[in-house]
Structure 1
Amino acid sequence: MQQIARAVALAFNNLPRPHRVMLGSLTVVTLAVAVWRPYVYHQESSSPIVRSIELGKDDIRSLLPEASEPIDTATPQEEEAIPQDELDDKVASDQGLHEYVVSTGDTLSSILNQYGIDMGEISRLAQVDRELRGLKIGQQLSWTLTADGNLQSLTWEVSRRETRTYERSGNGFKMSRETQKGDWVNNVMKGTVGGSFVSSARSAGLTSSEINAIIKSMQWQIDFRKLKKGDEFAVLMSREMFDGKREQSQLVGVRLRSGGKDYYSIRAEDGKFYDRNGSGLAKGFLRFPTTRQFRVSSNFNPRRVNPVTGRIAPHRGVDFAMPQGTPVMAVGDGEVVVAKRSGAAGYYVALRHGRSYTTRYMHLKKLLVKSGQKVKRGDRIALSGNTGRSTGPHLHYEVWINNQAVNPLTAKLPRTEGLVGKDRSTFMAQVKEVTPQLRFD
């Protein structure tokens, strides 16, 4: 055997180098095949069924266990609906309409992106009218969305006399411009609360949209549902008249007397409302519902799509991964409108802050508040958990503005502020002009 091995080695060494390399490689492959002999399963069927699914990077992330909302099922909103009342009623034409008053530091992208509108959509909109890049404080935007959350149309009130509308057209938008030539006339409407504020305001000559504007302007001072019979109100409304018909209107100021106390709300040049001293009426919000910030395990995505079914399963809030039992706080002053166990949401709390803002807290372990209870910013309302349709301990947190879910991490939340300097001087001059017109007699 040794002689044979020596003969083979001698013959191998006498071969040219390329041949030695080729023979060595072949030997290694042969040995590998001999050692590795996998068991092959022979399927009886001659036509196996194969399904191939390609997932993108974002889709793969949504399938991880830390993603709390299964993407094959949309969140059952009917189980978590906020109780409605008469003050939530809107004119039929206003259904699905979202409104925003431009404030300091706002841009078109910062406004629309917090509502989940894609940056590509915003870019295509700005290409139609570059002046949209220069929004001014106090101007108003309103828009509607398609069923899949894309922008359908947007209206920009450039001034009292000019309005621009941008309608979806194919993959882009088409702009139309309307210039009003009517005369703006101030009207004072007075009334006494009877059955309800809404019905009494309508009897005084106010339209549904004007009533909504009044409620929003005073939402931080008054709970309109609790006004009593005999309470009085006076409203100064600026209306544009064209050929004897009312085209549009703008709220200038409101005075409401309830329980012998007067409440004022007067519009400033920035489009916001202040009291007679120029102090802001909005109550400040916390950015996060916990004492410290936790890791975001699932982001806000109103157009999240199931990669298998292709159906939209929106994620209308943000998930924070946190240990069970972590204290959850109210982000602002408000009233508890829901505190119960609700199917997919598990133990669930909803707070209403004024009339425009609502926050929701889901998958809780324990509730610390009851429906109808008043809470202050920073109050503990629950302990985080893993209840309902949840795959791990976390808090699902939502912020809604005017019945539209927004991104809690980027939304422009209310903050307590007041006018200063020249802005306050201008406003105080306006107060002296408006206040005498808001008499009850």
Structure 2
Amino acid sequence: MTRKVLLLITMATLLAGCKNEHRKSEERQVEIPEVIENIKPAELIEFGYNLNEFAVVRDTVKAGDSFGEILVRNNITYPKVFEIAEKTKDTFDIRKLQIGKPYTLLCTKDSLKTPKCFIYQPNKIDYYVVDFADSIKAYKSRKPVKLVRKEASGVITSTLSEAIINYGMDYQVANDLADIYAWTIDFFRLQQGDRFKVIYEERYIDDTIYAGMNQIKMAYFEHSGKPFYAFNFVTDSVKGINDYYDEEANTLRRAFLRAPLKFSRISSRFSGRRFHPVQKRWKAHKGTDYAAPRGTPIMATANGTVIKSGYTSGNGKYVKIRHNNIYETQYLHMSKRAVKVGEFVKQGDIIGYVGSTGLATGPHVCYRFWKHGVQVDPYRQDLPSADPIKPELKEIFLEYIKPLKEQLDSVPFKSIEEPKEEIEQLEIITELNQENVTSK
């Protein structure tokens, strides 16, 4: 084969190869139609509903708002509002909407945005659902809550409430400690250097939203160098009855509270001779005065029956309670009375509010205490204890608190100089949920 023929064959081969590559390139450049998948948005579940299916309206109850006004404003007729209210009244009282509380309307996604469901939240956890999409129904439910157990300690420099705030705790801890020790510690006589430890539970929604304190599980309070332990113990699991007992199974409660107010100050004590600030003369003062802001709730210091609820020029508005055939108490200078003669009141019930009616120079309550018909100083009385723990539960209780006492004793006291360190989180305890209760 000649050199010329070989050259022609080689060129033909190269041209054929180029054409094939060009054809493949064209094939590669052909656009392939993109397949677009219809991806549904992730479900947004709240209050048991998928919110993506509704036009959601969120607002808070304003002054002048009512259940009817809110629905009518959102295109629900008055007859329909009346029907909804009537059929759900056993579960949801439409009169109890509070200003500032949030509500949610789940509406149709068309141009009318007609409400199909009304959800009201009286607090961060509980909520009421009034569903009128098809049939009308209502129920109360609650958001899932996690209980987180925490431990903290503090030293008193002035008051318990100030110490609680300075150490970064929920103010409710102070209220609950005052309730637990109300019968055994005089919080009006706390001393600088008194100290405390507490292990308690806090509630969280969705792991991060703080929903308030749940319960103090155990506490230690050292007052005037004397220790006071408190352990919460369930004495009746069927009825859900629990109380606080010390390390020897003695109840911390007494038949009488130490004072008719939670937090205040004693402005005048029981005395056989005191200069009266209004009458400007020396006379006996057979009561204990607690100064407090006007409107502060006044509590019954023990169970009993109201035998007087009235007004005199000296006492102002007052209430008197007979507790048994030995003890009676009286509460003077109220701005408003909250009970009537013949009512039975329990220890801690609000019976009135602090004022300055009668012979008073400023807002306070004069607390008077009778024993066998004679007025006495309650701080000098050996007040009776409440019912002790049942004998069959005592050994169970003592075994139950052994590890708890060790845990409480191991909590270190923070010094006064380091109050705002973060409170230690011990563990996530459990989740709470409540089954829906549907109205019939």
TM-score (norm: length of structure 2): 0.38
Greater Rg over alpha carbons, structure: 2
| Structure with greater proportional strand content | 2
| Structure with greater proportional helix content | 1
TM-score (norm: length of structure 1): 0.37
